[in-house]
Structure 1
Amino acid sequence: MLTASSALMSEQRWQTGAKGSLQNLKKFNNQDFNHLRALCLSQGLLFEDATFPAHVSSIGPNLLPEDKLQQIQWKRPTELQQNPYLIMDGVSRFDIMQGEIGCCWMLAALGSLTLQKQFLENVLPKDQGFQDNYAGIFHFRFWQYGDWVDVVIDDQLPFLNGRYLSVHPRTSNEFWPSLLEKAYAKLRGSYQNLHGGYLSDALVDLTGGVQVQLSLKDPPPDLEEILKAADKSKCLIVCSTSGQLRRNIELRNGIVRGHAYTVTGTVKLRYKNGWKHIIRIWNPWGYREWKGPWSDDSPQWKYVEPKCREALLRNKDDGEFWMSCENFQEQFSWLYICNSTPTFLDFGDQHCTMWSVARHIDLWSPVLAPGRNSYSSGAVSTNPQYFFEVPDYDPKSYNVVISLMQRHAEDMQDTKTLKIGFLITMNNSKILKQNFSLSRDVTDYYILNPGTYALIPATTEDQEFEFLLRIFIKSQDYNENSNPLPRPLLPMDVPRQNQDSSYKAVFLRYAKQGSAIDASQLQQLLNEVILQDEMTSLGGRFSFDSCRGILSLMDLNSNGQLTLQEFRILWQSLAKYMDIFSKEDRNHSGFLGVSELKNAIQTAGLATNEHLLLLMTLRYGNAARRIGFSDFVCCMLRLETMTYAFQNLAEGRSQISMTPIEWLTLAMYT
């Protein structure tokens, strides 16, 4: 039988108004901000969050010694200030000062967020404050694994010995930094889980974008161009220094080891008889600055035009400073850039480019994992593959970005991070690219020649995991008057269908009382949904008998019906075989001949020979031994099912032994 280890159908959940979008947020812990606030206001109470209480359990057991944990006090802003505000005079990175907890990685990303209002407004809702309808409750939004999530908190903040345990505002009566950080701590399970983390995770959680990590010890040759493009296109940009074993050690030059910073600007200015590329950087501590060339009091500024110097130089002890690109590469180890699309790769002589994106949520099964030691072509051919088309391109321009993210459970402190990655092949040939990493998000960018590629997500461990795959593809010479770039062609999609035709929507439209589909309902579904396309309809409709055969192949429960889970497996198979059929039917006749059928079987990664081909065309073809799409689906589903059934039975054995009833059960119902 087919199993859930087959690739699953991608869900189109990013449309406007879809669950998990900014217009229809998912509610973290099922808490509704408006409902809870209204309830508190009607009862004259201040909200107390039972799911993230003012208790040491929200701090975490290992963040502080036991005696200090017991000394923590929780106070509301109204207890600290007579006239507190959520935001005063706008949101700025200078509002933030790091507290006792070492969460510089999150605050560096947050500092970058304050520079990009298009992202900030998504994270920090405006429908709250201390002046109107105050009830001790606030909410913030974060992106989690493809969904925007609304996180509700109360405004009780932790203090130790009269000082903020966590981030504290520079202005005493402005509280957005402390409250936003508390919401992020709740999302991640505890304040303890903010004590050390990954910059790349924070960037993605605050934007829902795609991020890239660049080593400054082995930088790409176009690092300066990437930095300028990132700054120009309003990306979030952060960086970090080495020294994870000795964090927060300040060097004589003012740089802190094992620390995260925000890149707040880049500029190329006239200096002496030439040009100089300098970078502006901010320390989330709110103090401790670079003391070398281009620092606040350095002599280099004397050789800069007065107007330019006045515009750029801010001589204050606020944690922000300038340094040259050369010193930046010497002092820092990693650069992280994030945006909705990979605009940081749009540089050079490019004009009017656009990025398309295809998104897929799937479940990776270790049954089909390529293996820990090697990746044979045979192993690759049996794995779920996502095909994408690369159009004409500029050979000097990056044109494909792949992002693979493994899903973390809501209880994130107990989540095991697997070593995941992906392989890229072309024309079922050898592996062209591969990238594996022990991280939540594996992202890489490429310059690929025009053509059709296959991407195979994988893990090096024998463990099932859920993942989000995003494929970004650049289109050159795009302009506002041209047609929108089509989504990349993927076998998990059925692009000929209406946008609302995800497998769940289709299933619910035809299912009996919303729970199952029988053969007659399946026949109606296939003929009305799948055969909308002219090419697939040329070969004839799905008969009732063929639908009974398809149902029996997919009916894992052997009850004559398909559940939603069983239908999902069928749906992804239909999408895959529709894609293969359209590629092999080169003359658009609506039929496959013998040689085309052979190619289709090989593309699907299945085995055949001349005798078996003859039998299949006799069984499923017309008088001319040509097979239409509906018969092709029946043929391929049976071939795939029986192939896997044999492999499962033969696993680890040189011979297969079956009782007559076992054989008849397999032969008569599947």
Structure 2
Amino acid sequence: MNNDDLYKKALQNQLQFNLYTDNDVEKISNLINSRKTVVNVINTDNKNYLHSTEMNSDSNRIENMGNATMSNMEFAKPNKAMESKQSNYDKIVSQCINRNVLWQDPDFPATSISMYYNNPIPYNPIIWKRPFEIISNPHFIKDGASRFDIKQGLLGNCWFLAALSCLTPNEKMFNKVAPDQSFTEKYCGVFKFNFWQYGEWVQVIIDDRLPTYNNQLIYQSSHDKAEFWGALLEKAYAKLTGSYEALTGGHASEAMTDFTGGLCEGYNPREKKPDELFFIVNNSLKKCSLISCSIESKGTAIESELSNGLIVGHAYGVTSITKIGHYKLIRIRNPWGDKHEWKGAWCDGSREWSQISKDDRIKNEIKFDNDGEFWMSIDDFIRNFTKMEVCNVNMHDFDEFSEIKSWKSNYYEGKWTNGITAGGCRNNKQTYSINPQFIININDLNKDKDDTGNVLVGLIQKDRRKLKKRTFFPIGFDIYKIANNTSTQHNGKINMLSKNQILSMSPTVMSPSYINLREIAGRYKLAVGTYCIVPTTFDPNCESDFIVRVYTENETEIIEADNNFEKSKTDLTNTETFKNQLDNDLDLFKQINGNDGVLDVYEFENFLNQYFSQNNRCKYLLDTCRTIFSYYDDEFRGKLNYEQFKKLYSKLIVIQKCFKQFDMDKNGSFNVIELRCALFNLGYKITNKMYSYIVLRYKEGNALTFSNFVSLIFDIDHLIEFYNKLKSTTNLNCRLDDVSIIVNNDVVLNLQ
């Protein structure tokens, strides 16, 4: 088939190319002429999308395309979410001041819908009031923000308040979350707060109406009744998650991450020696890490008090650690902010303090009040607490001049898609290898001899808290060390580890456990080399967006592994069995083609179903026959001669045999796993993005029928043929992965 024939066959198609330079546009200008064509122009330096236009008018002639796009189009702008929110806040303030009104938030109204979705508040009536309606002279912050300002209300959100008590001592971090505001200057009832959400800082704008009962705040309050930063910050976080009730029950690690963007790791204190735990806490606090702790409620009611004064199933904040003489002491704070404190050794006013000088007490800010804060020995901490969470923070995010040694952080967003990239944990051997894979390089070992690990890896699933308490999936990850010859790089991509490869390897390290937390993380000592991180849910086919985060001592990057699309040149027809079947069945051609020696599409469809398929599992639909028939009807006569029929029929034998082999449950259709195996058997390497598109485009319901499978194979091969012809004719700088076929404004196949 010559080029003219090839382009005639594509006459009614819309062909889309991602072109990498101005010259590429010119290379096809003489080939595609006036046919309706979409051209995407991409700048390869930063991969910014520039322009898309239809080439169906003189003003958009393809030879003019370079000037119309590369010279005149603006590059895509970076994400300006924070700037946009800031301008929105300023706009609200300006409008309210001009109209002399107090703002009312339409997205988080002062009604029960913002308070709860299942469990009504046991108080009536609930009245929403602004701070100046509660007290005559309200302050946002009075005499500086302090952990002692925090007092838990009706909500069971101690996890949130414990994290908040750890945040307040660091002024720069606190000011990032809660910028300075007031009830006097430009006051119009609107306040703003910032939270880290999955890779970026977002601004949450609220009005200052707060739910009250008998003129008392129902939720968080301050010990100073004139101070409202805590109540307003809690409201902003409730808006972020959907409602106040959505804050009931959680883990301090969630809030610590949202306050700082840090990566949290968990410890069981009982598994650590006193000196080891002291070092971890002391070193973490020096790096401005946030730390919380709690006691697991095994067989004990949540938030019940033990005889020693500690509360089970309740989150505390770790606010300090010190060594005085040979005593190693740790300071803990209960967000209830009252007399519920530790009653053992080193509790408030205990006899142990008589051994500590007045100067040491002043130096370590030791005081005794019923404020929820207390000291205990590191040994008692290990004996009593079962969980400690450390949020590792990059202080350069808050202070570019900070001299505190910080981690180098990277993250990558991904998605588990049912049947495509949601393979489940390693127990699921048939599907495990389809999970996303991410490659990192460890270039240098940390030289700190006291270091407990040189790499932090975290896996965070996009927040499901907003979805009316929809639970998190149990998640985890495996990390494999890759030999130099295990994973290959081709055309800028790193190929995924195959099923056989990955199942033959043992993970170098694994996440601590599969657990239904928003984020799971671990600290590891990894030798110099290349590693593959495989994030998974415990069960297959669990759909969710996720982020993989990697903290290292030195700069590195995360690269998602994916296969380049390609088709092997293996000849699946070069067998004696195949040739015998072909010879026998071609004898039928003469019996069914009538007297003209050619087949029309109806005779072709009848032949396939009556003589060839003879199986309801492999039923050929007339529309499918028309599609594949047209690919071999070079002269557009609506007829196939013997040679054309022979080529087409040879291909159908291979496709039908493959379908029967991989239709494991014999139901006449492929599920997404069977489809992937069948494509691989036919010699196709499929990118995850391409496979996602194939499933969406060709499946019916939850399955892909035999007819659709046949159409898919012919569509892929037709596109490959067109690409190869164009490539050989024009030397076009365009990869096969970047080509699409569009018919009647519908993308038929997109190899991206």
> Does the TM-score normalized on the shorter chain lie above 0.5?
yes
Q: CA deviation at 1:467?
A: 0.9
Q: Deviations over 1:116-147 (max 9, x none)?
A: 22211111112x31111111111111111222
Q: CA deviation at 1:340?
A: 2.2
CA contact (8 A) 1:228 1:266 kept: yes
The answer for the alignment partner of 2:510 in structure 1 is 434
**Aligned ranges 1:414-563 → 2 under 5 Å:** 414-427=469-482, 429-435=505-511, 436-461=514-539, 462-475=541-554, 485-487=555-557, 491=561
Match of 1:309, SS? helix
The answer for the alignment partner of 1:576 in structure 2 is none
The answer for the alignment partner of 1:251 in structure 2 is 306
CA distance, structure 2, for counterparts of residue 410 and residue 199 of structure 1? 14
Match of 2:461 among 391, 406, 409: 406
Q: Please report the TM-score for the alignment, with normalisation by the length of structure 1.
A: 0.66
Q: CA deviation at 1:658?
A: 8.8
Match of 1:389 among 441, 452, 462: 441
Q: CA deviation at 1:203?
A: 0.8
Q: CA deviation at 1:25?
A: 6.2
CA distance, structure 2, for counterparts of residue 240 and residue 225 of structure 1? 19
Change (3 A) 1:225 1:20: farther
Q: CA deviation at 1:380?
A: 5.0
Structure 2: gaps of 5 or more residues: 1-43, 49-76, 397-402, 483-500, 564-676, 721-752
Give the letter aligned to residue 451 of structure 1: G
Match of 2:333 among 276, 282, 299: 282
Change (3 A) 1:320 1:263: same
Match of 2:410 among 333, 342, 358: 358
Change (3 A) 1:415 1:19: farther
Q: Deviations over 1:456-504 (max 9, x none)?
A: 11123312211111112224xxxxxxxxx353566589xxxxxxxxxxx
Q: Deviations over 1:485-524 (max 9, x none)?
A: 353566589xxxxxxxxxxxxxxxxxxxxxxxxxxxxxxx
Q: CA deviation at 1:183?
A: 0.8
Match of 1:56 among 101, 108, 112: 112
Give the letter aligned to residue 544 of structure 2: F
CA distance, structure 2, for counterparts of residue 12 and residue 252 of structure 1? 63
CA distance, structure 1, for counterparts of residue 220 and residue 551 of structure 2? 36
Change (3 A) 1:467 1:228: same
1:334 maps to 2:387: yes
Change (3 A) 1:12 1:226: farther
Change (3 A) 1:472 1:639: closer
Give the letter aligned to residue 89 of structure 2: F
1:199 maps to 2:252: yes
Give the letter aligned to residue 160 of structure 1: Y
**Aligned ranges 1:166-185 → 2 under 5 Å:** 166-185=219-238
Q: CA deviation at 1:443?
A: 0.9
Give the letter aligned to residue 111 of structure 2: H
Give the letter aligned to residue 469 of structure 1: V
**Number of positions where the alignment pairs a residue of Structure 1 with one of Structure 2:** 492
The answer for the alignment partner of 2:193 in structure 1 is 140
CA RMSD, Structure 1 to Structure 2 (Å) = 3.8
Change (3 A) 1:352 1:321: closer
Match of 2:143 among 89, 110, 118: 89
Match of 1:74 among 128, 144, 165: 128
CA distance, structure 1, for counterparts of residue 47 and residue 416 of structure 2? 19
Give the letter aligned to residue 198 of structure 2: Y
Structure 1: gaps of 5 or more residues: 1-8, 344-350, 476-484, 494-604, 613-634
Give the letter aligned to residue 518 of structure 2: R
Q: Please report the TM-score for the alignment, with normalisation by the length of structure 2.
A: 0.59
Q: CA deviation at 1:308?
A: 0.6
Give the letter aligned to residue 473 of structure 1: T
Change (3 A) 1:119 1:451: same
Q: CA deviation at 1:322?
A: 0.7
Change (3 A) 1:252 1:637: closer
Q: CA deviation at 1:93?
A: 0.8
CA contact (8 A) 2:436 2:561 kept: no
Change (3 A) 1:278 1:656: same
Match of 2:187, SS? coil
Q: CA deviation at 1:407?
A: 1.0
The answer for the alignment partner of 1:108 in structure 2 is 162
CA distance, structure 1, for counterparts of residue 395 and residue 273 of structure 2? 16
CA distance, structure 2, for counterparts of residue 490 and residue 60 of structure 1? 40
Match of 1:141, SS? strand
CA contact (8 A) 1:20 1:147 kept: no
Q: CA deviation at 1:45?
A: 0.9
The answer for the alignment partner of 1:37 in structure 2 is 93
CA distance, structure 1, for counterparts of residue 404 and residue 159 of structure 2? 34
CA contact (8 A) 2:292 2:318 kept: yes
Give the letter aligned to residue 79 of structure 2: K
Which structure's CA Rg is the greater one? 2
Q: CA deviation at 1:379?
A: 5.0
Match of 2:232, SS? helix
Give the letter aligned to residue 203 of structure 1: M
